[in-house]
Amino acid sequence: MPHSVKAQIAVDVICSHSYLGYTRFARAANQVRAEGVEVTVEFLPFELAPGAPADGRPLLTVLEQTFGPQAVAGALDFAERAAREGLRLAYGKAIATGTFDAHRLIAEAASQNKAEPMAERLFRAHFTDGLHIGDPATLAQLATEVGVATGSVPPSAVRARLDRVRRLGITGVPVFLIENLPPLTGSQTETTLLAALRQAAAKGAHHEGEHRDR
C-alpha cells in the first residue's frame, strides 16, 4: 500500500513568498497524490507583522513608508516572476493588514478538512482580488465561499499555535516540514518539493516494510 506523507507548512497569507511556495507545493502534492500517495497538510501560523493593525491600508504605501522605494520595486519585480508561474499579484490594489483572524479561519477550516482550499482562497483574496483579509465581514464571506463554519476555534488556541511555531525557531516563511526529511525554507522550486514528497513517501514505505518484517 502506498505510504501517506505528512507535511507541515509555516506561512503567512500576506507573504508573497509563502503564496508562491505554497502554490508550488500544492502542485507537487497533487502530482504525488495522482501517483497514489496520500498527502496530509497542516498549516503552521506565522505573522510577518505581529500586532499589525487590521484597519487596512494600501500595501504599496505601507511598503514604501516602512522599507523605502526599493521595497516597492522588489515587490513589483517579484510579481513579474510569479506571473510566469500563473499567479497574479495585484500589488496596486493589495491591502496591508494583520493576519491573526485569517490564521484563525485556516485553523477552523482545518478542523473541517478544508485547510488547503481555505489557505489558497485567502492568498488569492489578498494578492489577486485586493480584498481586506483582516476585515471580519470579508473573512465571513470567504469562509462561506469555501464552506467553512466559523466560531469553533478560540483566539487563545491561535495564540498558542503562534507561540509553538516561534519555539520551533521559525523566523521567516515559508518553511516546509515534510516528515522524514530536513526542513526546506523559502519558496522552493516545484521540482524540489516534488522530489522531497516522493523521497518522504519512499522512506515511509521502507520503514513500514521493516516493521512488517520484524
Task: Using the structure block, give the residue that is written with the C-alpha cell 500517495.
Answer: 37
Written as nine digits, the cell of 182 is 530536513
- The rounded average pLDDT for each run of 10 residues, N- to C-terminus, in the chain (214 residues) is 85 97 97 96 96 90 95 96 96 95 98 98 98 97 98 96 96 95 94 96 66 47
* pLDDT recorded at residue 213: 44
Give the total number of structural domains in the chain.
Answer: 1
**Radius of gyration of the chain, Cα coordinates, nearest whole angstrom:** 18
* pLDDT recorded at residue 42: 98
Q: Look up the CATH number of the domain holding residue 115.
A: 3.40.30.10
Q: Which domain holds residue 104?
A: 4-213
* pLDDT recorded at residue 203: 86
Count the helices and strands in the chain (H runs, E runs).
8, 6
* pLDDT recorded at residue 30: 97
Task: Using the structure block, give the residue that is written with the C-alpha cell 510577518.
Answer: 48
pTM of the prediction? 0.93
Contacts of 28 (CB under 8 A, 6+ apart): 190, 193, 194, 196, 197
